[in-house]
Structure 1
Amino acid sequence: MEELAFLENASASFVDLEMSGPPANPLPFGRATTGRAERVDAMVLNPVTGEHLEVSNIIYERHPDRRPPDRAYWVGRKLKKCIFGVVKECTLLRFRNDALVPWEVTSGKAAVKIMSWQKIRELQHIEDPIKEVSAMQYISEGGQHPHVMGVLDVLKDEEYLLLFMPFCSSGDLFGFVQQAGRFPEPMARYWFMQILEGLTHLQKKGVCHRDMSLENILVDEYRTAVVIDLGMCLRVPYDDGETGGVADVSAGTLRRLINPLIPCGKPNYISPEVLKSEVPFDGFAIDLWATAVMLFIMLVGLPPWEFAREEDPRFRMVARGGLERMLRSWNREISPLAADLLQKMLREDPRQRLSLEEVKVHPWVLYEGGGAVPQAPGHEEWRG
């Protein structure tokens, strides 16, 4: 039943959604759940060398019933700054139940976003990290997905909110494009298909990301693309199937269009209907639009436009079916199949764009020409 409902939504047209019911506001996410953070200095065993080392800045969840923690995080080097604080790399520790040397180093890594409560209070009107935590916990229900960033632990103390996540060691996909200039089509397809799997998971959960971009795709050590940054996402409304009211994705019905909202996201990637902010929009369609822009940049090495507005001559050319002509003028031609896919995903009218299911069965996506698994850039970086 759930799979049938997903397929119906993944193939639904804008017209289908207009007939599903009146536009609605996004649904709220559930309340974020947090554990109590305990920060200690302790002895740690290196199981490879047998050495004991006293280390500082070990964080774990303090359970009310005082049962032993499941794991701990040895917080290490700074990876980057973020709006509310800093992101750091962590080493996962295993509890040994030994009073003298209570922890043991493992090969596991994590990243922690350390957010100041003071900063959260000051800037919550701009961006709400509590909502991002709620969304990530919602997305992670039922287990981690390989192509969407999930949550390991969410802890707090008097000063900080601590969001622990899987560690991605190879930077973001935008860095790969910058290094390469542009991708050969087999490499672009390799990444694009993984991004589509991430979108599929979000759609199955009834979530619109709203900020899809190459900068928001991290790459792990196994060359897996992971969608990150759910700070702007929306929980899509669905028809309740009975009274004409609004339900969530679990209703197994068609989703509704969403009432206009203030535009957000990175300018290159925002769809024209969201930029205008005058008419209802389809949450899934705007993510697919941004994904098409991502594919364009991977294949061409440049963004298609600054803003998807009539005033931009590049947008006007693509909107009128001239994508291939524009690329010939740039001396950046791509295959006819790739151009066909992009042209059909980047139609100005959302009623004419491809659905997720149509994108997945497009001949360019299904092409079996293959290609080598891409290599990471020469430096390691985690960007969240």
Structure 2
Amino acid sequence: MEEDLAFLDNASAAYEDIEVNGAPCAPLPFDRPKTGNAERVDAPVYNPVTHDVLEVSNIIYERHADGRPPDRAYWVGRKLKKCIFGVVKECTILRFRNDMNAPWEVTAQKAAVKIMSWQKIRDLRHIEDPQKEVAAMQYISKSGGHPHVMGVLDVLQDDEYLLLFMPFCSSGDLFGFVQQAGRFPEPMARYWFKQILEGLSHLQRMGVCHRDMSLENILVDEYRTSVVIDLGMCLRVPYDDDGKVTDVSAGTLRRLIGPLIPCGKPNYISPEIFKSEGPFDGFAIDLWAAGVILFIMLVGLPPWEFAGEEDPRYRMVARGGLERMLESWNRTVSALATDLLQKMLREDPRQRLSLCEVKDHPWVLGDDSNAGSFGAPSNEGWRG
């Protein structure tokens, strides 16, 4: 109950409340990632459907120091996409069956594994640190995880690779669905937006600012569930402890974060991050990006190239002209949706809606039962 009250205090806090809560400070560090020892083998695998036993290569599991059998293994399969530090591949999860003739059994469960080279991690650490992303994912998963934020199944390592095993999302990213549809009808946009807000709610409960929210960083699984991914740029938000700095577990109000180098996709970066001249509220910049996500779902186009005075479309919206801009584009959006977008995309974070205000907005509370259904986008761009 106290945890829920603390969350609501932060989810409803105005910028001014946070501004007077203490001097801006640096984000808190994440703990180092916890990893197990990876064992890679070829082994016979039993198929319980066909009752066949197949000799399978490239099975990875955790080798326990005490010799106890592994809980599960991963049969690594096809490549899904390249990443900066290596590759992402699809896996089939295997169950240990304690049979010398076929020690593993196929299951219907899938996973994805990000295979990252230690050499590339060392060479490119100045660009991005994947160990921080792994640590952040473990951190947000420690309370049992959340269906709308990508969690961790296992983190293993050997001399060559860091291996991050995650749930598998079969239907690509939400950007692909918008591309396929052109733009979403409002009930469909509302259906997905509510899930995105639930993902943001979990991050706020854990005291985490994502900092790179975008349609490309929201995957969709076969059950029409969206999952926020890519925590490589996230920050652990500082909280106040009677003038000192603590974390979210104290149940207090968060503090502003001192200026940092801008990061994220230009369309989604908030104006205060784009300028990078003063402190910012980690939760407010994620809600700004959520507003851009909703805009693109409803309109089919990004509102601007970047949130700076040099961009004429941004200038128009910043001065309250979002409705006029949509009329000039001949893109009809309901009055309630326009009202929500304008209030989420206010230039001054002091005037922007909080998470609670967004979730309580009449448009968000509307009916999404006619959201309809659609298949995976044909290009499935995230797979490369």
Structure 2 unaligned residues grouped into runs of 5+: none
- Which structure 2 residues correspond to residues 74-93 of structure 1 after superposition, within 5 A? 74-93=75-94
SS in 1 for 2:294: helix
| Count of residue pairs brought into register by the alignment | 382
Contact 1:150–1:165 at 8 Å: present in 2 too? yes
Contact 2:176–2:377 at 8 Å: present in 1 too? no
SS in 2 for 1:231: coil
- Which structure 2 residues correspond to residues 47-196 of structure 1 after superposition, within 5 A? 47-196=48-197
Look up the match of 2:316: 317
- Which structure 2 residues correspond to residues 343-382 of structure 1 after superposition, within 5 A? 343-368=342-367, 370-379=369-378, 381=380
Distance apart, 1:106 and its partner CA: 0.3
Aligned partner of 1:327: which letter? L
Distance (whole Å) between structure 2 residues aligned to residue 111 and residue 363 of structure 1: 38
Distance (whole Å) between structure 2 residues aligned to residue 221 and residue 48 of structure 1: 22
Distance (whole Å) between structure 1 residues aligned to residue 368 and residue 267 of structure 2: 30
Aligned partner of 1:307: which letter? F
Distance (whole Å) between structure 1 residues aligned to residue 381 and residue 347 of structure 2: 35
CA offsets, 1:75-113, max 9 Å, x none? 000000000000000000000101111000000000000
**TM superposition score normalised by structure 1:** 0.98
Contact 1:341–1:359 at 8 Å: present in 2 too? yes
CA offsets, 1:321-363, max 9 Å, x none? 0001000000112000000000000000000000000000000
Look up the match of 1:272: 271
Distance apart, 1:230 and its partner CA: 0.2
Give the direction of change, closer, same or farther, for the CA distance of 1:96–1:382 in structure 2 (3 Å limit): farther
Look up the match of 2:21: 20
Give every structure 1 segment of 4 or more consecutive aligned residues whose post-TM-superposition deviation is greater than 2 Å: 376-384
Look up the match of 1:292: 291
Distance apart, 1:32 and its partner CA: 0.5
Contact 2:269–2:289 at 8 Å: present in 1 too? yes
CA offsets, 1:195-254, max 9 Å, x none? 0000000000000000000000000010000000000000000001x3x01000011111
User: Once the two structures are aligned, what percentage of the paired residues are identical?
Assistant: 80
- Which structure 2 residues correspond to residues 208-287 of structure 1 after superposition, within 5 A? 208-240=209-241, 242=242, 244-287=243-286
SS in 2 for 1:58: strand
Aligned partner of 1:358: which letter? E
Distance (whole Å) between structure 2 residues aligned to residue 182 and residue 262 of structure 1: 32
SS in 2 for 1:127: coil
Structure 1 unaligned residues grouped into runs of 5+: none
Contact 1:238–1:256 at 8 Å: present in 2 too? yes
Contact 1:155–1:161 at 8 Å: present in 2 too? yes
Aligned partner of 1:46: which letter? N
Distance apart, 1:369 and its partner CA: 5.5
Distance (whole Å) between structure 2 residues aligned to residue 120 and residue 142 of structure 1: 28
SS in 2 for 1:218: strand
The worse-fitting range, judged by mean Cα deviation, of 373-382 and 74-83 is 373-382
Look up the match of 2:208: 207
SS in 2 for 1:315: helix
Aligned partner of 1:355: which letter? S
Contact 1:168–1:382 at 8 Å: present in 2 too? no
SS in 1 for 2:363: helix
Distance (whole Å) between structure 2 residues aligned to residue 339 and residue 378 of structure 1: 27
Distance apart, 1:144 and its partner CA: 2.5
SS in 1 for 2:350: helix
Distance (whole Å) between structure 2 residues aligned to residue 280 and residue 301 of structure 1: 32
Aligned partner of 2:39: which letter? E
Distance (whole Å) between structure 2 residues aligned to residue 142 and residue 18 of structure 1: 29
**TM superposition score normalised by structure 2:** 0.98
Distance apart, 1:370 and its partner CA: 2.7
Aligned partner of 2:307: which letter? A
Distance apart, 1:128 and its partner CA: 0.4
Distance (whole Å) between structure 2 residues aligned to residue 264 and residue 174 of structure 1: 19
Contact 2:172–2:377 at 8 Å: present in 1 too? no
SS in 2 for 1:364: coil
Distance (whole Å) between structure 1 residues aligned to residue 327 and residue 371 of structure 2: 27
Distance (whole Å) between structure 2 residues aligned to residue 7 and residue 383 of structure 1: 35
Give the direction of change, closer, same or farther, for the CA distance of 1:307–1:4 in structure 2 (3 Å limit): same
Distance apart, 1:377 and its partner CA: 2.5
Distance apart, 1:262 and its partner CA: 0.1
